[in-house]
Amino acid sequence: MQISITTPALLFPAISVLFLAYANRYLAISKRTRELHGLYNKTQSFYAKKQVESLRKRIRLIIIMQLLAVMGIISCVLTMGLIFFGLQKIANYCFLTGMILIVFSLLVSMWELLISTQALNIELQKIEGE
């Protein structure tokens, strides 16, 4: 397979949107963590504690998502350099590696989304229990 130097460059706009989404998730979780910290200190609520556990998992997953996406970007940049220096076969493998890393990042994003849904269900249980 022959890829041109512009092929990996096409991913940069998509990756920047991906990072924006990941950063927004992280900021929302950090805000919610601060809110729950205050609530838990005041009430020692079972629901707040469950939410904190969920947030801790989600923060770890977001960090993993971002690291995988960064490694995918680096791989794409390396691919462009390898193509520039005429190392097409290595560039192909490097590009494939970048694509796999980005796919893993998206899969971890889906996992985090499922945990987020569980956290919302905890909130709904709290409302129903009141």
Residue-wise pLDDT tens digits, 9-41: 777 787 778 888 888 888 888 888 888 777 777
Alpha helices (runs of H) in the chain, residue ranges in sequence order: 6-9, 11-43, 46-84, 88-129
Domain assignment present for residue 4? The answer is no
Domain assignment present for residue 115? The answer is yes
In eight-state DSSP terms, residue 44 is -
Domain assignment present for residue 1? The answer is no
User: Does position 111 have pLDDT exceeding 80, yes or no?
Assistant: yes
CA distances from 2 to 8, 30, 34, 86, 93 (A): 12, 44, 50, 11, 11
**Total number of domains constituting the chain:** 1
CA 68 to chain centre: 8
Average pLDDT of the segment spanning 108-123: 85
pLDDT tens, position by position, 46-88:
777 777 788 888 889 999 999 999 999 899 899 999 999 999 9
Domain assignment present for residue 129? The answer is no
CA distance 7 to 76: 9
* pLDDT for the residue 108: 96
* pLDDT for the residue 130: 59
Domain assignment present for residue 8? The answer is no
Domain assignment present for residue 9? The answer is no
Average pLDDT of the segment spanning 88-112: 94
Domain assignment present for residue 24? The answer is yes
CA distances from 124 to 25, 28, 46, 59, 129 (A): 20, 19, 14, 21, 8
Domain extent at residue 26: 14-124
Domain assignment present for residue 6? The answer is no
* pLDDT for the residue 117: 85
